[in-house]
Amino acid sequence: MKTFCGRANPTTGSMEWLEEGEDYDYHQEIARSRYADMLHDKDRNVKYYQGIRAAVSRVKERGEKAIVLDIGTGTGLLSMMAASAGADFCYAIEVFKPMANAAVKIVEKNGFSDKIKVINKHSTEVTVGPDGDMQCRANILVTELFDTELIGEGALPTYEHAHKYLVQEGCEAVPHKATVYVQLVESRRMWSWKKLFPVHVEAEDGEKILVPPSEMENCPGLPSVCDIQLNQMPSSDFSTLSDVVKMFSVDFSKPVQSASTCYRVQLEPVKSGKAQIVLSWWDIDMDPSGMINCSMAPYWVKPTSALQWRDHWMQCVYFLPREEPVLQGEKLYLTACRDEYSVWYNLQKAREGESRADEEEHKADVCVESPVCRCRAHLLWNRPRFGELNDQSRTRQYIKSLRKVLKTDSVCLCISDGSLLPVLAHYLGAKQVFTLENSGVSCSVMEKFFKANNLEDKIKIIEARPELLKPSHLEDKKISVLVGEPFFTTSLLPWHNLYFWYARTAVSSHLASNVTVLPQSASLHMMIVEFQDLWRIRSPCGICEGFDVRTMDDMIKDSLNFRESKEAEPHPLWEYPCKSLSEPQEVLTFDFTKTVPEHCLSTQGSVKLLRKGKSHGAVLWMEYHLTADISVSTGLMQLSNEKGNCEWNPHCKQGVYFFSSVIESEILSDPSAVEYAMNFDTKTGEIAMDFKLL
């Protein structure tokens, strides 16, 4: 059966209807899944196995049969661990049908069909009884339902239901307990992901300071957690204001409450500073004694242990509602509030001479509402975009290039989503400035912004799509300078921002014949790399802790071949170290001074490998040439030393194309070059790419 899927094309901006097979979504989900990453997590696997063996032994020692319930079984790995540890029977629950089918095959292949029953249902729909999915309640509960925030995948309501209906009272649970840890820090870099800092512009008539509206200044931002690989954050980018403290624990062997609640801890800053950020992570004890522990702690907390790389569980950055100056040794209260799926934080100073009774009363009123963006800027700009807007050196590049092209009679049109360029153009002397905003959200944010800086009558906002722009919108004037960053909220891959070129083409009739376009052009760049760890997310597992999971590998490979493997995927490479094996190479150029051509843009060639290493894939990024001598890169910022260490733009995701040798795990013996072919289809705005290792 075929189905029509509507989607807005991020590059061309047009609405498209694509005919997709019924299994398209399924292939998408499998191809981009994190199953391989979890199966490569040796630390997780070993500790789960130890915890399961210990739980089965404890039940057997009591003279009972070991009946296991495994919720969210995935490949069936944990159930197979239980069966091989001597469990009498396992009920393995998996709601995602293709995954449940794979689990059945994997269980059979490993010879456990008589011990493991795979149930393709949501655990809340599972029935117990002689005619039910489960004959009886289980006495061992095994789950892996956690995300970086611990509870974001609905672990709490799932546990709550399981204790009520699916497991015996006093059951063994693996993991037995989870504990969430927090640390208070000051970090200009991380804080720049939440709020806009004032922007300084040197204009003809002195320095201008662009300030964010007060509404944006005091906005708590979004409730969603910011999850990152904290191990890639250099210690120079933050300052710890408190010791690490335990925030709360959840005992999975007892009934779990999912209802919203708050936890409060007392802190004493170890140094004075500005409290802005709560860093958080968790660990799990696989057994009641706490001897088998799996921790997500970052490098400065556990400097002695070899850190296990994992992408399915990272660390959390939470932004306090506002910056709080704190003094070393003063008494503070940090409150964590949570609902079923998310956590948020609040910091309060202890009141002078507060008694224990006052403290308890005080505790009752600290449960604050989940943060909601009131200024709308957090709906328009994601966190990396806030970081980009706060990057003063990047802003200086734009100021420098605008100075070169603006004249006193310039009529300027800006095409980007919620950009500060219209303000820069006005301050730098453009006669008139228009900004074309695609959405109601970006219009309202820009309105507030202009108002806060007394510019509402200086810059005209036009809410229209480029193809619907009329001469009357522009007061019948022709545009002499067209500018863009380019940045659009719909972009996922670096080249999706080529939407600027399509918008520029759509507004051609409104441009003066000698129009200046900034950026004047863009180029697509590429480099062959070896990843330190990121390759694991696409690499087959084969045998995992003695169990054959190749069925899973084949399934991922089929889904990648379905379509995805011919495409790059977006990753923020500042979080994923790699070394370059080749020089960076420019592969395609796009001339914004002209309209989008009818014909495709194609190129092919080969790139020589300069260093020995495993060619895991190609990284792709865009560079925008603002003027003849000023460029900004969305990818490689610096290539240092003989080792080929790369520094990536921290505000953008780069495109990563994994070679099939990673997916098939047959790394060639030292390829000497990589052949590539690229084709930019100007009708669809898509780049097809192909690579061959020579």
Active site residues: 144, 153
Distance CA 210, CA 644 (A): 39
Helix or strand holding residue 640 (H, E)? strand 636-640
What is the DSSP code string of 137-201? -EEEEEE----TTSSTTSHHHHHHHHHHHTEEEEEEEES-EEEEEEEEEE-HHHHTTTSPPPEEE
Contact 125, 93 (CB under 8 A): no
Mapped onto helix, strand or coil, the DSSP state of residue 491 is coil
Neighbours of 483 (CB within 10 A): 30
Mapped onto helix, strand or coil, the DSSP state of residue 502 is helix
Output the CA torsion 235→236→242→247 (10° steps).
-40
Q: The tokens of 509 are what?
A: 């009739």
Greatest extent of the chain over all pairs of C-alpha atoms, in Å = 91
Distance CA 413, CA 483 (A): 6
- Residues shown for the chain: 694
Query: Over the Cα atoms of the chain, what is R_g?
Result: 28
Contact 445, 373 (CB under 8 A): no
CA 624, 628, 631, 635 torsion-angle sign? positive
Contact 117, 143 (CB under 8 A): no
Neighbours of 283 (CB within 10 A): 20
Mapped onto helix, strand or coil, the DSSP state of residue 228 is strand
3-state helix, strand and coil shares in percent for the chain, rounded to the nearest 5: 25, 35, 40
